[in-house]
């Protein structure tokens, strides 16, 4: 069937190329002598065939599963420790899906500005969590605006495995988590988050509802792009390839510190914060979620890899698109992608310098600085 389609497409394309090609000019064709016309048609046919075959092989045939060479990559320096947890699964011959869940669970449980229950709250003082997970068979699960549950990534996995749905949010996600046996944690900020929140309240002059709901005017202020000089989004996204050559990914965050209540970023959105296509590769994102969503970031990167781009070049393409869209405002936001292809090549790209990602393989455990459009911005801006 595929062969027939390819043959038909070839014939169509040959005709198209001969009579209506972009670089073709009828005047030029008429001025050719008969042998030259034949030569011209022959070279058009050969060129078109080569082009089409190239496209066909790039569209699916160029990737071969790499066996017995597992790897894990994840965003930021917290990724080093997370990869270590993932590696326990991968080095024992376990599944990439288990590795990416276990890996980011470590970050969710640790002291962290931007992941898990110890992270900074929204502007009303509540920590709300977003996470998603995706396996090698396009199965995916997601939770957003989830409160008081320690491991949103595991709830996302349960959504994937135990419901007919992909995404649960807010109260419903919490109800589901409790029904699945996840403990409801105390409604309480970590000491660091409490301190940061009190500081932020002073500077922002925002009055949260429990203090004085009537005094709110308009909707501002919004989440700052930077907190104490650092970017205000340190999501952990992890991608893994197991010994079978299968890919999976996970992504988890508390979102932007002091965000509007109810705000959800890219991290729980399949196709934005995370995407896995086991024929081609996988990608995950960190940074300003709104700008990842508007370009369907992770999915776009995977599609560029399908076209034959390396992971780094594919990430760069989508970062360039964000910068093009945002124009001058791109200087005020950070977005970064990391990606892996089916051949086991990895890469990353960010808008601003300073983004690094962690790699773990049989022979390497390292933090790598991603290339970027702009140089690293000084922290005291």
Known catalytic residues are 235
Rg (CA), the chain: 24
List 265, 311, 344, 347, residue binding ligand GLY (CB under 6 A): 265
Measured from the CB atom, is 267 or 361 closer to ligand GLY? 267
Binding mask 186-225 for ligand GLY (x = CB under 6 A): ----------------------------------------
CA distance 194 to 196: 6
Burial category of 156 from C-beta neighbours within 10 Å (exposed 0-12, middle 13-18, buried 19 and up)? buried
Structure tokens at 255: 């979102």
Burial category of 72 from C-beta neighbours within 10 Å (exposed 0-12, middle 13-18, buried 19 and up)? buried
Measured from the CB atom, is 98 or 108 closer to ligand GLY? 108
CA distance 261 to 258: 8
Q: Name the minimum Å distance from CB 38 to ligand GLY.
A: 58
In 3-state terms, what secondary structure has residue 38?
A: helix
Measured from the CB atom, is 174 or 286 closer to ligand GLY? 286
Does position 107 interact with ligand GLY (CB under 6 A)? The reply is no
Does position 266 interact with ligand GLY (CB under 6 A)? The reply is yes
Does position 255 interact with ligand GLY (CB under 6 A)? The reply is yes
| HEC sequence for 343-373 | CCCEEEEEEECCCEEEEECCCCEEEEECEEE
Measured from the CB atom, is 44 or 235 closer to ligand GLY? 235
Sheet holding 365-369, edge to edge: 167-169, 140-146, 129-134, 247-253, 236-241, 71-75, 356-360, 365-369
Contact at 8 Å (CB) between 236 and 270?
A: no
- Residues numbered 10-29 forming contacts with ligand GLY, rule: CB under 6 A: none
Q: Name the minimum Å distance from CB 237 to ligand GLY.
A: 8
Structure tokens at 234: 């340190």
Q: Name the minimum Å distance from CB 115 to ligand GLY.
A: 10
Does position 106 interact with ligand GLY (CB under 6 A)? The reply is no
Measured from the CB atom, is 90 or 238 closer to ligand GLY? 238
Tell me how crowded residue 285 is: count the other CB atoms within 10 A of its CB.
Answer: 33
Does position 267 interact with ligand GLY (CB under 6 A)? The reply is yes
Binding mask 73-102 for ligand GLY (x = CB under 6 A): ------------------------------
Count, residues near ligand GLY per rule CB under 6 A: 12
Provide CB contacts within 8 A for 243, sequence distance 6+.
67, 68, 69, 70, 90, 93
CA distance 133 to 178: 19
CA distance 78 to 114: 11
Does position 233 interact with ligand GLY (CB under 6 A)? The reply is yes
Binding mask 274-293 for ligand GLY (x = CB under 6 A): ------------xxxx----
Structure tokens at 270: 């399949």
Q: Name the minimum Å distance from CB 378 to ligand GLY.
A: 22
List 155, 256, 305, 319, residue binding ligand GLY (CB under 6 A): 256
CA distance 240 to 246: 8
Measured from the CB atom, is 130 or 135 closer to ligand GLY? 130
List 74, 154, 253, 334, residue binding ligand GLY (CB under 6 A): 253
Measured from the CB atom, is 256 or 301 closer to ligand GLY? 256
The residues of the shown chain that bind ligand GLY, judged by CB under 6 A, are 233, 235, 253, 255-256, 265-267, 286-289
């Amino acid at each position: 069937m595929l062969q027939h389609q390819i043959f038909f497409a070839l014939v169509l394309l040959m005709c198209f190329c001969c009579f209506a090609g972009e670089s073709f000019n009828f005047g030029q064709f008429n001025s050719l002598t008969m042998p030259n016309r034949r030569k011209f048609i022959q070279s058009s046919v050969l060129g078109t065939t080569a082009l089409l075959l190239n496209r066909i092989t790039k569209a699916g045939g160029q990737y071969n599963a790499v066996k017995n060479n597992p790897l894990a990559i994840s965003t930021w320096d917290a990724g080093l420790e997370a990869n270590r947890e993932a590696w326990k699964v991968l080095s024992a011959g376990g599944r990439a899906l288990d590795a990416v869940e276990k890996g980011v669970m470590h970050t969710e449980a640790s002291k962290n500005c931007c992941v898990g229950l110890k992270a900074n709250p929204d502007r009303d003082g509540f920590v709300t969590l977003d996470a998603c997970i995706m396996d090698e068979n396009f199965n995916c699960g997601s939770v957003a605006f989830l409160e008081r549950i320690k491991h949103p990534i595991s709830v996302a996995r349960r959504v994937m495995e135990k419901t007919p749905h992909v995404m649960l949010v807010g109260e419903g996600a919490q109800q589901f988590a409790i029904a699945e046996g996840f403990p409801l944690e105390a409604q309480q900020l970590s000491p660091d988050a409490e301190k940061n929140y009190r500081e932020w309240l002073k500077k922002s002059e925002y009055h949260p509802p429990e203090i004085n709901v009537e005094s709110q005017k308009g909707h501002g202020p919004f989440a700052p792009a930077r907190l104490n000089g650092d970017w205000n989004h340190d999501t952990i996204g992890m991608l893994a390839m197991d010994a079978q050559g299968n890919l999976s990914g996970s992504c988890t965050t508390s979102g932007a510190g002091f965000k509007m209540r109810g705000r959800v970023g890219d991290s729980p959105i399949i196709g934005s914060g995370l995407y896995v296509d086991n024929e081609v590769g996988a990608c995950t994102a960190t940074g300003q979620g709104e700008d990842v969503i508007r370009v369907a970031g992770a999915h776009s990167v995977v599609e560029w890899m399908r076209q034959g781009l390396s992971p780094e070049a594919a990430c760069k393409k989508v970062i360039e698109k964000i910068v093009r869209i945002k124009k001058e405002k791109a200087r005020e936001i950070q977005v970064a992608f990391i990606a892996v292809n089916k051949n086991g090549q990895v890469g990353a790209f960010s808008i601003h310098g300073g983004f690094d990602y962690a790699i773990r393989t049989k022979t390497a455990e390292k933090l790598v600085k991603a290339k970027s459009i702009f140089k690293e911005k000084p922290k005291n801006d």
